[in-house]
Amino acid sequence: MVLPIIYCFIPSRLDRELIPTCYDLLNKADNRSNIEVIVFNQDREEDMFRQSQFPAEVTLVNVDYNKFSNICWIRSLASYFVKPTHTHYLSIDSHMRFDKGWDTILLNALKPNSVLSAYPPGYTLYSSLPENTKHHRNLFNIERNGPFPFVSDIKESSGEYLKSTIAGGFHFTTIDWLDKVGYDKELCWKWEEIDLTYRTINEGYDIINYKHTPIYHLYDHTMRKLQDHQEVFLTDCDTKFLQKTNTHSSLKISEYYDINFDDFLKNLT
Protein backbone atom coordinates (compact mmCIF):
# COMPACT_ATOMS: atom_id res chain seq x y z
CA MET A 1 0.00 0.00 0.00
CA VAL A 2 1.38 3.40 -1.03
CA LEU A 3 0.89 6.01 1.70
CA PRO A 4 -0.21 9.56 0.82
CA ILE A 5 2.50 12.21 0.60
CA ILE A 6 1.53 15.47 2.30
CA TYR A 7 3.15 18.65 1.00
CA CYS A 8 3.07 21.41 3.61
CA PHE A 9 3.78 25.06 2.75
CA ILE A 10 4.54 27.47 5.61
CA PRO A 11 4.97 31.22 5.07
CA SER A 12 6.74 32.85 8.01
CA ARG A 13 7.45 36.48 8.84
CA LEU A 14 9.79 37.44 11.70
CA ASP A 15 8.46 34.55 13.79
CA ARG A 16 10.40 32.85 16.59
CA GLU A 17 7.77 30.10 16.70
CA LEU A 18 8.71 28.82 13.24
CA ILE A 19 11.23 26.20 14.37
CA PRO A 20 9.05 24.78 17.20
CA THR A 21 6.16 24.63 14.73
CA CYS A 22 8.17 22.53 12.27
CA TYR A 23 9.38 20.14 14.95
CA ASP A 24 5.92 19.70 16.45
CA LEU A 25 4.44 19.15 12.96
CA LEU A 26 6.84 16.31 12.23
CA ASN A 27 7.26 14.80 15.69
CA LYS A 28 3.49 14.45 16.13
CA ALA A 29 2.89 12.88 12.70
CA ASP A 30 2.18 9.17 12.38
CA ASN A 31 4.14 9.03 9.10
CA ARG A 32 6.69 11.84 9.14
CA SER A 33 8.67 10.30 6.27
CA ASN A 34 5.61 10.98 4.08
CA ILE A 35 5.58 14.70 4.85
CA GLU A 36 7.58 17.30 2.93
CA VAL A 37 7.71 20.90 4.16
CA ILE A 38 8.64 24.12 2.37
CA VAL A 39 9.19 27.18 4.57
CA PHE A 40 9.26 30.62 2.95
CA ASN A 41 10.86 32.67 5.70
CA GLN A 42 10.85 36.47 5.66
CA ASP A 43 13.47 37.47 8.18
CA ARG A 44 16.10 39.90 9.39
CA GLU A 45 19.54 39.35 7.92
CA GLU A 46 21.25 39.55 11.30
CA ASP A 47 19.37 36.60 12.82
CA MET A 48 17.97 34.56 9.93
CA PHE A 49 17.30 30.92 10.67
CA ARG A 50 19.66 28.35 9.12
CA GLN A 51 18.77 25.12 7.34
CA SER A 52 20.70 23.14 9.95
CA GLN A 53 18.23 24.26 12.65
CA PHE A 54 15.34 22.43 11.00
CA PRO A 55 14.36 18.76 10.65
CA ALA A 56 15.55 17.02 7.50
CA GLU A 57 12.04 17.02 6.02
CA VAL A 58 12.02 20.84 5.88
CA THR A 59 13.42 22.94 3.03
CA LEU A 60 14.12 26.51 4.14
CA VAL A 61 13.89 29.49 1.77
CA ASN A 62 15.16 32.73 3.36
CA VAL A 63 14.47 36.25 2.12
CA ASP A 64 14.95 39.70 3.62
CA TYR A 65 11.66 40.70 5.23
CA ASN A 66 11.90 44.15 3.63
CA LYS A 67 11.77 42.60 0.15
CA PHE A 68 8.54 40.59 0.39
CA SER A 69 5.40 41.16 2.39
CA ASN A 70 2.15 40.35 0.57
CA ILE A 71 0.86 37.05 1.96
CA CYS A 72 -1.15 36.24 -1.18
CA TRP A 73 1.94 36.60 -3.40
CA ILE A 74 3.91 34.44 -0.98
CA ARG A 75 1.29 31.70 -0.77
CA SER A 76 1.17 31.63 -4.59
CA LEU A 77 4.76 30.34 -4.49
CA ALA A 78 3.49 27.05 -3.05
CA SER A 79 2.73 25.86 -6.59
CA TYR A 80 6.40 26.03 -7.58
CA PHE A 81 7.43 23.32 -5.12
CA VAL A 82 4.86 20.65 -6.01
CA LYS A 83 6.28 17.23 -6.92
CA PRO A 84 4.57 14.45 -8.90
CA THR A 85 4.67 12.31 -5.74
CA HIS A 86 2.60 14.76 -3.67
CA THR A 87 -0.97 13.62 -3.07
CA HIS A 88 -2.21 16.14 -0.47
CA TYR A 89 -1.61 19.78 0.41
CA LEU A 90 -1.53 21.46 3.82
CA SER A 91 -1.32 25.22 4.32
CA ILE A 92 -0.54 26.42 7.85
CA ASP A 93 0.90 29.43 9.64
CA SER A 94 4.32 29.46 11.30
CA HIS A 95 2.93 29.42 14.85
CA MET A 96 0.97 26.19 15.20
CA ARG A 97 0.81 23.05 17.37
CA PHE A 98 -0.59 19.61 16.62
CA ASP A 99 -2.29 16.62 18.16
CA LYS A 100 -0.53 13.28 17.98
CA GLY A 101 -1.36 11.59 14.69
CA TRP A 102 -2.66 14.79 13.09
CA ASP A 103 -1.79 13.51 9.61
CA THR A 104 -3.89 10.36 9.98
CA ILE A 105 -6.75 12.38 11.48
CA LEU A 106 -6.81 14.86 8.58
CA LEU A 107 -6.49 12.19 5.91
CA ASN A 108 -9.35 10.19 7.42
CA ALA A 109 -11.52 13.30 7.88
CA LEU A 110 -11.10 14.62 4.34
CA LYS A 111 -14.04 13.78 2.12
CA PRO A 112 -13.76 13.36 -1.68
CA ASN A 113 -13.47 16.65 -3.57
CA SER A 114 -13.36 18.75 -0.41
CA VAL A 115 -11.22 21.15 1.60
CA LEU A 116 -10.91 20.92 5.39
CA SER A 117 -10.55 24.35 6.98
CA ALA A 118 -11.23 26.18 10.24
CA TYR A 119 -9.88 28.90 12.46
CA PRO A 120 -8.07 26.50 14.83
CA PRO A 121 -8.43 26.86 18.59
CA GLY A 122 -5.66 28.84 20.27
CA TYR A 123 -2.79 27.49 22.34
CA THR A 124 -0.74 29.18 25.04
CA LEU A 125 3.04 29.02 25.05
CA TYR A 126 4.54 26.46 27.47
CA SER A 127 1.10 25.09 28.38
CA SER A 128 -0.79 21.93 27.52
CA LEU A 129 -2.96 22.04 24.43
CA PRO A 130 -6.66 22.64 25.09
CA GLU A 131 -9.21 19.93 24.46
CA ASN A 132 -10.71 20.56 21.04
CA THR A 133 -14.35 19.49 21.09
CA LYS A 134 -16.21 21.95 18.87
CA HIS A 135 -16.24 23.64 15.49
CA HIS A 136 -14.15 26.81 15.24
CA ARG A 137 -15.39 29.57 12.96
CA ASN A 138 -14.02 32.67 11.27
CA LEU A 139 -14.97 35.01 14.12
CA PHE A 140 -12.02 37.33 13.48
CA ASN A 141 -13.28 38.36 10.07
CA ILE A 142 -16.83 38.66 11.36
CA GLU A 143 -15.57 41.45 13.59
CA ARG A 144 -13.28 42.94 10.95
CA ASN A 145 -15.34 42.93 7.77
CA GLY A 146 -18.82 42.37 9.06
CA PRO A 147 -20.31 38.89 9.20
CA PHE A 148 -19.78 36.34 6.50
CA PRO A 149 -23.41 35.19 6.29
CA PHE A 150 -22.21 31.72 5.40
CA VAL A 151 -20.18 31.53 8.62
CA SER A 152 -22.02 33.54 11.24
CA ASP A 153 -25.34 31.82 10.56
CA ILE A 154 -23.92 28.32 11.02
CA LYS A 155 -25.38 26.62 14.09
CA GLU A 156 -23.43 24.24 16.29
CA SER A 157 -24.51 20.65 15.96
CA SER A 158 -23.61 17.23 17.27
CA GLY A 159 -22.34 16.24 13.84
CA GLU A 160 -18.65 16.00 13.02
CA TYR A 161 -18.88 18.32 10.00
CA LEU A 162 -20.25 21.78 9.27
CA LYS A 163 -20.18 23.77 6.07
CA SER A 164 -17.33 26.27 6.28
CA THR A 165 -15.22 28.87 4.52
CA ILE A 166 -11.47 28.78 3.93
CA ALA A 167 -9.11 30.13 6.57
CA GLY A 168 -5.80 31.23 5.05
CA GLY A 169 -3.83 29.90 8.02
CA PHE A 170 -5.14 26.35 7.83
CA HIS A 171 -6.57 24.38 4.94
CA PHE A 172 -6.02 20.78 3.92
CA THR A 173 -7.01 19.14 0.67
CA THR A 174 -5.80 17.05 -2.26
CA ILE A 175 -2.88 18.37 -4.28
CA ASP A 176 -5.05 19.08 -7.35
CA TRP A 177 -6.58 22.05 -5.49
CA LEU A 178 -3.36 24.02 -5.97
CA ASP A 179 -3.67 23.71 -9.73
CA LYS A 180 -7.44 24.16 -10.00
CA VAL A 181 -7.82 26.96 -7.42
CA GLY A 182 -4.52 28.04 -5.87
CA TYR A 183 -3.72 31.60 -4.82
CA ASP A 184 -4.12 34.93 -6.59
CA LYS A 185 -0.82 36.76 -6.08
CA GLU A 186 -2.38 40.09 -7.07
CA LEU A 187 -4.75 40.17 -4.12
CA CYS A 188 -4.05 41.18 -0.52
CA TRP A 189 -4.84 39.92 2.95
CA LYS A 190 -8.15 41.77 3.05
CA TRP A 191 -9.68 39.67 0.26
CA GLU A 192 -7.64 36.47 0.57
CA GLU A 193 -10.12 34.23 2.37
CA ILE A 194 -13.21 35.49 0.56
CA ASP A 195 -11.46 34.93 -2.77
CA LEU A 196 -10.26 31.43 -1.80
CA THR A 197 -13.76 30.49 -0.65
CA TYR A 198 -15.43 31.96 -3.74
CA ARG A 199 -13.13 30.21 -6.23
CA THR A 200 -13.01 26.91 -4.35
CA ILE A 201 -16.82 26.62 -4.42
CA ASN A 202 -16.89 27.63 -8.10
CA GLU A 203 -14.47 24.80 -8.87
CA GLY A 204 -16.87 22.33 -7.31
CA TYR A 205 -15.16 21.60 -3.98
CA ASP A 206 -17.00 21.40 -0.66
CA ILE A 207 -15.46 23.35 2.23
CA ILE A 208 -15.94 21.57 5.53
CA ASN A 209 -15.14 22.36 9.14
CA TYR A 210 -14.19 19.19 11.04
CA LYS A 211 -15.18 19.13 14.71
CA HIS A 212 -11.95 17.45 15.85
CA THR A 213 -9.43 19.53 13.92
CA PRO A 214 -6.04 18.46 15.36
CA ILE A 215 -4.28 21.80 14.89
CA TYR A 216 -3.87 24.80 17.21
CA HIS A 217 -2.92 28.41 16.50
CA LEU A 218 -0.95 30.96 18.54
CA TYR A 219 -2.94 34.20 18.61
CA ASP A 220 -0.42 35.87 20.94
CA HIS A 221 2.04 37.91 18.83
CA THR A 222 4.77 38.34 21.44
CA MET A 223 6.99 35.75 19.74
CA ARG A 224 7.41 37.93 16.66
CA LYS A 225 10.87 39.45 16.23
CA LEU A 226 9.19 42.69 15.18
CA GLN A 227 5.57 43.77 15.26
CA ASP A 228 5.66 44.41 11.54
CA HIS A 229 2.59 44.01 9.35
CA GLN A 230 3.36 46.12 6.31
CA GLU A 231 2.15 44.84 2.96
CA VAL A 232 3.36 45.87 -0.49
CA PHE A 233 0.83 45.00 -3.17
CA LEU A 234 1.33 44.29 -6.86
CA THR A 235 -1.93 45.98 -7.81
CA ASP A 236 -5.00 47.74 -6.41
CA CYS A 237 -6.42 44.76 -4.52
CA ASP A 238 -9.95 46.11 -4.09
CA THR A 239 -10.31 46.81 -7.79
CA LYS A 240 -8.75 43.48 -8.73
CA PHE A 241 -11.11 41.46 -6.55
CA LEU A 242 -14.25 43.28 -7.68
CA GLN A 243 -13.23 42.84 -11.32
CA LYS A 244 -12.89 39.11 -10.71
CA THR A 245 -16.31 38.78 -9.12
CA ASN A 246 -17.93 40.89 -11.84
CA THR A 247 -16.68 38.53 -14.55
CA HIS A 248 -17.77 35.27 -12.90
CA SER A 249 -21.19 34.09 -11.79
CA SER A 250 -21.84 34.14 -8.05
CA LEU A 251 -24.64 31.58 -8.43
CA LYS A 252 -22.67 28.61 -7.09
CA ILE A 253 -21.50 30.32 -3.93
CA SER A 254 -24.93 31.87 -3.32
CA GLU A 255 -26.59 28.47 -3.64
CA TYR A 256 -23.94 26.66 -1.61
CA TYR A 257 -24.33 28.95 1.39
CA ASP A 258 -27.93 30.04 0.75
CA ILE A 259 -27.02 33.73 0.62
CA ASN A 260 -26.94 36.57 -1.88
CA PHE A 261 -23.20 36.82 -2.42
CA ASP A 262 -23.49 39.96 -4.58
CA ASP A 263 -25.30 41.80 -1.78
CA PHE A 264 -22.68 40.60 0.68
CA LEU A 265 -19.90 42.10 -1.46
CA LYS A 266 -21.74 45.39 -1.78
CA ASN A 267 -21.89 45.67 1.99
CA LEU A 268 -18.12 45.14 2.19
CA THR A 269 -17.33 47.86 -0.35
Contact 54/19 with Cβ under 8 angstroms? yes
Rounded CA separation 143/154 (Å): 16
Give the integer Cα–Cα distance in Å for 224 and 76. Answer: 23
Averaged pLDDT for residues 238-260? 83
Burial of 55 (0-12, 13-18, 19+ CB in 10 A): middle
Give the model confidence (pLDDT) of 181-195 as tens digits: 999 998 888 889 889
Predicted pLDDT of residue 227: 73
The boundaries of the domain holding residue 250 are 6-268
Rounded Cα distance, 146 and 218, in Å: 23
Question: Is residue 196 scored above 60 in pLDDT?
Answer: yes
Band (pLDDT 50/70/90 cuts) for residue 1 is: low
What CATH number did the domain enclosing 173 receive?
3.90.550.10
Is there a domain that residue 99 lies in? yes
pLDDT tens, residue by residue, 154-189: 455 667 888 888 999 999 999 999 999 999 998 888
How many separate domains does the chain show? 1
The answer as to whether 1 is a domain residue is: no
Residue 66 lies in a domain: yes
On whether residue 136 sits in a domain, the answer given is: yes
168: nearest Cα among 186, 147, 191, 199: 191
Is 31 part of a structural domain of the chain? yes
